[in-house]
Amino acid sequence: MPYSQTNFLRHYGNIIGLLVGILAGSVSGLLWKEKILVIKPVGDIFLNLLFTAVIPLVFFAIASAMAAAGAKNRLTGHMTLVFAGTVLLAGVITIVGIRIFPVTPGLHPLVQPQTVQPLAIGDQIVQLVSTGEFYELLSRQHMLAFLIFSSLTGIAARQAGEGGAAFRNWLHAGNEVMRALLTWIMKLAPIGLGAYFACQLATIGSSVWSLYAQTLIVGHGIAFFYYFVFFSLYAFIGSGIKGIKTYWQHNILPSATALGTCSSVATIPANLHASRQMGIPPAIADVVIPIGASLHKEGSAIAAVIKIAVALAMVAHQLTGIDHILLALLIALLVSIVEGGIPNGGYVGQLLIVSAYSLPPAVLPVIIIIGTLLDPIATLLNATGDTAAGMLIARLARRSPLT
């Protein structure tokens, strides 16, 4: 029993600590009202630490990953197609789901909307993916352009061969340093977000909790729908009716492991064992499962779209229009990649949402707590989706399981 309790605290300790800090801050805000506003600088300092760390963190994470990427082969192409396709489909399903079941019904904007001069679609694309000066890349307002620059830098470092070895080593070392820095910053999250929520509850009252309740219900509904319906569909495409039966028969252990550990990486052994029982060829499973644990996260994509909808509602906007929808799908895809390579990568994804939509910093704590509440169900989809993806990839590779 002590072992299981230790494991539970190790895997869920950060979530519990964050929720305790937010709950304590919320109670303090309701009890002391305006008097609690004296601790507002504590929350502001924490947010500023996150915002200043995100630029070097993302650069080293993306550039080092691209620099270390291996050569292309047929299996890599199949993985890319399936991973990207299923993540984007999860994003589309979520957009449809929140149109049918809104996550923010009757929400009064918590932040005053900003008046923005509308731009032509061509100008919007230019501003989104590029900047006129190098120093502008270092602003979180140009996060997508910075991601593109970081990716190109990593690709160039890989193609430089032996001449770029020292630069690649520097990228790897920088990535390790920034991972450690973010880990330390996130140790302050219960205090920083607790202070923020204390001030928020003192200012607007307890009505904000209805937003979290509605989001939690809708988010879990969409996630479970995708889990049962689309994973069954992928198993059917992979191996027909027999594939559905076999997939769910052997997906129990990976599902329980994902919920018990709240970690896709910790679920790798259970997924590898299950993949054998599902009939996925070892040559495919041994590659797809470990890589998918880092780069294939449908649950994170669903959570990202829900957080985008909430963040936009807080500034009196909706997730409508082709520009907002395409950007949401792109963010969902990027979050699926970024979260796997960075400790506390979910926070980087939330910073990306704020930056890409030019939202005020005040929306960040709200979507952080939404991400925390959705993390267990997102992990369930992230982890168990890898075996479903493996069945699809095996089909594409003309090695259908269970033949």
Give the residue, 386 or 73, on which the prediction is more confident.
386
- Per DSSP, the residues of 292-328 read HHHH--HHHHHHHHHHHHHHHHTTT--S-SHHHHHHH
Give the residue, 97 or 111, on which the prediction is more confident.
97
What integer is the mean pLDDT of 107-114?
A: 57
Distance CA(210)–CA(313), nearest Å, equals 14
Distance CA(302)–CA(91), nearest Å, equals 6
What integer is the mean pLDDT of 298-321?
A: 89
Model confidence band, residue 1 (pLDDT cutoffs 50, 70, 90): very low
Number of H helices, E strands in the chain: 16, 0
Q: Note the pLDDT of residue 87.
A: 95
Encoded tokens for 384: 């168990």
Q: Structural domain boundaries of the chain?
A: 2-396
**Whole-prediction pTM:** 0.79
Q: Note the pLDDT of residue 398.
A: 64
What integer is the mean pLDDT of 89-112?
A: 80
Q: Which CATH class is domain 2-396?
A: mainly alpha
Encoded tokens for 369: 């707590």
Q: Note the pLDDT of residue 4.
A: 54
Residues 6+ apart with CB under 8 A from 229: none
Give the residue, 375 or 51, on which the prediction is more confident.
375
Closest alpha carbon to 91 in 338, 258, 300, 295: 300
Average pLDDT of the chain is 82
Model confidence band, residue 231 (pLDDT cutoffs 50, 70, 90): very high
Q: What are the tens digits of pLDDT across the range 4-56?
A: 556 655 656 667 777 788 788 878 887 887 788 888 888 888 878 877 887 88
3 state DSSP class of 106:
coil
What integer is the mean pLDDT of 306-327?
A: 86
Q: Has residue 279 got a pLDDT over 80?
A: yes
In percent, how much of the chain has pLDDT > 90? 27
